[in-house]
A and B are shown apart, each in its own frame.
Chain A
Amino acid sequence: MIKIPINKAKPGMKILRDITNEAGMVVVPAGRELTDSLIDRLLMMNVDFLYVEGQKDMPPKEEVLNEIERRFKKANDTHTLLIKTILKSHIEELYK
């Protein structure tokens, strides 16, 4: 599941979370497929984001980890190195 802004919504995408209005009422239930007219209606209701099927476009994990190594090149104190270690395990989690 990914969260996309309404301007990236395309017909055929499947909605995975209920879309609610300002009062919290469900206006489009999860499970429906987007159509052009549905997208227009969402735009009129000022819906900004929606959850649809799909995977986030993420760069390869190795690349992300290598970049982290490069960015932390000047770090040599314990606190900053701790942040680096935590960040790397956070990235590992994202790719699980």
Chain B
Amino acid sequence: MNAQEVVAKIEKIESLPTIPPILKKILSVIEDPKVSLQKITDFVSSDPTLTARILKMVNSPVYGFPGRISSVSHAMVILGLNAVKGLLLGVSVFEIMQKSMIGLWEHSLSAAIFARIIAMKKELQSPEEISIGGLLHDIGKVIYIMAFKDEYMKLIESVESEENFLYEIEKQYFGITHAEVGGIIAKKWNFPLKLVEPIMYHHRPQLAEKFQKETAVVHLSNILALARGVGYSGEIFVPSVNPFAWEILNFKAEEISEIFKEAEEPITTSGEIFLSDE
């Protein structure tokens, strides 16, 4: 298959038969670049399941807020519009992740946790938004599952026998990796560049143009999540840290050790948040 065909198919994602109706509705809301806080709040509040999931997430160990956030509008104020848009997408693909790729949700959650901790350590602006970058970094895998389920499942199975990285196998078969697919889609959904670049380049952080630090954070958080081994992302090997990303984050060994320590409790408890919801 060539990359153009793949891109053409994923760009028509709204018309795919496998896309759940709620996701279709969410996309029509978040795609609008002029959508207001109020409109998103109203949209979420009109759906009890979405409301419950957003509130569970923002009150969960993933975000470490000391107090309880009891309303969607409060979450909006604290997290900001972009983070809530991303969160909305994240919690709505949860089901697809759970059904078709067991463990991807847990992997995504732990990447979100690592990303927030690193962003805070490096004193970057809006750690919540960067954390959403971590949550959504593998969104391209969900898109592949929706658009090319059988082929993609075969690729995932072949990781073990080929002893290779999934993203290398994707490149060979589709001509394009899940990271690029995710980036293209995030762009199409009018996500800010601050989310698009980390998703698009989480395997090649040296290519980020405007948001190098944010991209480096998501790159490293994926590696730490894979290293710690919570959940399952389709990869069986930890990819190497990109030297460029390592350099711009300028890490010392003690800091990495602190990050693992701080992440330990949230990554081992947060996987349960959504499982108890129905």
Q: How far is the CA of A75 from the CA of B256 in the complex (A)?
A: 17
Contact digits for B246-264, partner A, Cβ 8 Å, 1 yes 0 no: 1000000100110011001
Verify if A38 is at the interface (C-beta below 8 Å from B): no
Kindly provide the distance from the CB of B254 to the nearest chain A CB, expressed in whole angstroms.
Answer: 9
CB distance from A37 to the nearest CB of B (A): 20
Q: Which residues of A contact B246 (CB under 8 A)?
A: 79
CA distance A93 to B67 in the complex (A): 30
Q: Which residues of A contact B257 (CB under 8 A)?
A: 86, 89-90
Name the A residues within 8 Å of B269 (CB-CB): 3, 5, 49
Chain B 226-269 interface 0/1 with A at a Cβ cutoff of 8 Å (1 = within): 11110000001111110100100000010011001100110011
**A67-B229 in contact (CB<8A):** yes
Given contacts A5-B276, A56-B268, A83-B223, contact A74 B237 (CB under 8 A): yes
Q: How far is the CB of A2 from chain B (nearest CB, A)?
A: 9
Q: Is the CB of A86 within 8 A of B229?
A: no
- Would A74 and B227 count as touching, CB distance under 8 A? no
A48 surroundings in chain B (CB, below 8 A): 56, 59-60
From B67, B227, B240, B268, give the contact of A87 (CB < 8 A). B227
Measured in the bound complex, the distance between the Cα atoms of B68 and A79 in whole Å is: 38
Give the dominant DSSP class at A's interface: helix
Quick one: closest A residue to B264, CB to CB? A94
B272 at the interface (CB under 8 A from A): yes
Instruction: Check if A82 is an interface residue, CB within 8 A of chain B.
Output: yes
Chain A, interface size: which category?
20 to 34
Complex Cα distance A94/B260, Å?
11
Given known A-B contacts A71-B238, A74-B237, A86-B260, A79 and B272 have beta carbons under 8 A apart: no
Cα separation A48 to B169 with both chains bound (whole Å):
41
Cα distance A79–B224 in the bound complex, in angstroms: 12
B70 at the interface (CB under 8 A from A): yes
Residues of A contacting B256 with CB < 8 Å? Answer: 82-83, 86
Which residues does chain B contribute within 8 Å of A62, judged by CB atoms? none
Question: Known: A86-B253, A87-B260. Contact between A74 and B241, CB under 8 A?
Answer: no
Min CB gap A80→B, angstroms? 5
Q: Which residue of A lies closest to B240 (CB)?
A: A80
B241 near A79: Cβ-Cβ < 8 Å: yes
A7 interface residue, CB < 8 Å from B? yes
* A33 to B187 Cα, complex, angstroms: 53
- Distance A49 CA – B70 CA, assembled complex (angstroms): 16
Among A5, A73, A74, A87, point to the contact of B228 (Cβ < 8 A).
A87
State whether A73 touches B227 (Cβ < 8 A).
Answer: no
> Chain A contacts of B229 at CB under 8 A?
64, 67-68, 71
Residues of B within 8 A of A77 (CB): 240-241, 243
Name A90's contact: one of B70, B226, B237, B260 (CB within 8 Å): B260
13 CB < 8 A contacts A-B: A5-B269, A8-B272, A46-B68, A73-B237, A77-B241, A79-B241, A80-B240, A83-B241, A83-B256, A86-B257, A86-B260, A87-B260, A89-B257
Name the 4 nearest CB pairs between A and B, nearest first.
A90-B260, A79-B241, A7-B276, A74-B237
